[in-house]
Amino acid sequence: MILTICYLIGSVTFILGLKMLSNPATARKGNLVAAAGMTIAIIGTIFLYTDEAGNKLHNYGWIFGGIAIGAIIGTLAAKKVKMTAMPEMVSMFNGMGGACAALISVVEFNHLAFSVTPGWHTILYPPEMIGHVLIIILGLIIGSVSFAGSMIAWGKLNGSVKDFSFKGQHIVNILLLLVILGLAVYLVGWMPANSQLIFYVIFALSLLYGVFFVFPIGGADMPVVISLLNSFTGVAAACGGFLYDNKVMLTGGILVGAAGTLLTILMCKAMNRSLLNVLIGSFGGSAKTGGPAGAKQQGAYKEISLSDTAVVMSYANKVMIVPGYGLAVAQAQHACHELEKLLAEKGVEVKYAIHPVAGRMPGHMNVLLAEADVSYEKLLEMEHANEEFPTTDVVLILGANDVVNPAAKTDPASPIYGMPILDVELAKTVIVNKRSMKPGYAGIENDLFFRPKTSMLFGDAKKVLQDLIGEIKNL
């Protein structure tokens, strides 16, 4: 009875925490609420759980040793990670969740073995166990794909894994998936003598499929991939909840799976692309670099000096700042916030325009600016920001590229054609801070840089902002 109450508390806190995560002002508190519920559920399971025979958990040394090691590693990783490395850390942690779900399936399948044949166990289970075995296989496949895919995504984001594809790879992927599903149906429905061999073949092929699944997907689609893999991990965890009849594990898995799926759909909508197109399009991969949109001649661009930038921004009525991955690379969020406060002291209205897929993971820019204590009310989503650009005097783009590229609206040959963008061109003046004229993560040139209203301000974002602050103070 007490354990059921613990699970109920955990489930309720998960739902409340998720609700609070929908608002930046309450997101941190939502994390703490959900974490508290998880702690209650874990402690309740360790000390109150009993199996059908009335046996409690034992080996507390191993249990608390594992918890301590995981807590120490997780805490150190979270504290030391740079904001630029946050996406790959999220991918790695998500992959660990998938690995746990897959290992649960391995353990539970081996528990079904009760006789041994040369080399492999023969799994003989009654018909009423078919549903149980089906859940085990689903958890194995989904968890393995999530783990392997997340590790490749982690490698791509930190630069250790390059985009890789070969002719007909998508066909190979489909065939591999069909083989996995076919073996799963054979194992569940026919209970072959070499069941454990087939089980581990499914395990290996699922890991291979997870690698091949993410390999051809381009770097610019990584936010969508991370969100999709996160939903996979949630579904795999929910399978574990079914296996153990654990209500809180089931609830948590369903919430993660549903939230990840909805976020994936929303991000695809923000890019005006279907999920299928994301998975097979290789958008942002090396194959796109130098394509038609990236290769055409654009003409000349013009530069602007720091002193001129300081004057233009100081005497503006409204300034919109568009953050991008370049801001995260330069660790310039605090300097950006300082610039915002300085302009506000001069009577300038300053807001931030946030594109849904800016950065390398969902909400990357929101997290980045929240770290610098930027007011949540100043962060405008794309739809609201686009309404304010026509009345904006100056737009300052800091390291953003593809999310402001007019080619998405004007060039049918561009890979990003049709993707909703921030309409920065509607402002009176556009100033773009970049290190160089190199293309963005999607590998295509930005038409915006050559438009009449646009001026380029080259340099590292942090240094440029610090120098700009100095220039404004000297006016």
**What interhelical angle do 86-111 and 130-158 show, nearest 10?**
160
In whole angstroms, how far apart are CA 212 and each of 94, 176, 177, 277? Answer: 18, 9, 10, 16
Active site residue 221: no
Using an 8 Å Cβ cutoff, are 105 and 184 in contact? no
> Rounded to whole angstroms, how far apart are CA atoms 358 and 368?
11
Structure tokens at 381: 């989503």
Q: Is 43 helix (H, G, I), strand (E, B) or coil?
A: helix
* Residue with tokens 């997290």, as numbered in its chain: 367
Give the residue from 371, 360, 276 showing the smallest Cα distance to 332.
371
Name the DSSP letter for residue 428. Answer: S
Beta bridge partners of 352: 321, 379
In the numeric block, the tokens 């009849």 are attached to 245
Pairing of strands 429-434, 454-458: parallel
Catalytic residue among 163, 402, 423, 447: 402
CA–CA separation, 186 and 195 (whole Å): 9
R_g (Cα) of the chain, nearest Å = 26
Q: What 8-state DSSP symbol labels residue 374? A: -
CB neighbourhood size of 208 (10 A): 16
Rounded distance, CA 448 to CA 344, Å? 27
d(CA 392, CA 428): 7
| Catalytic residue set | 402
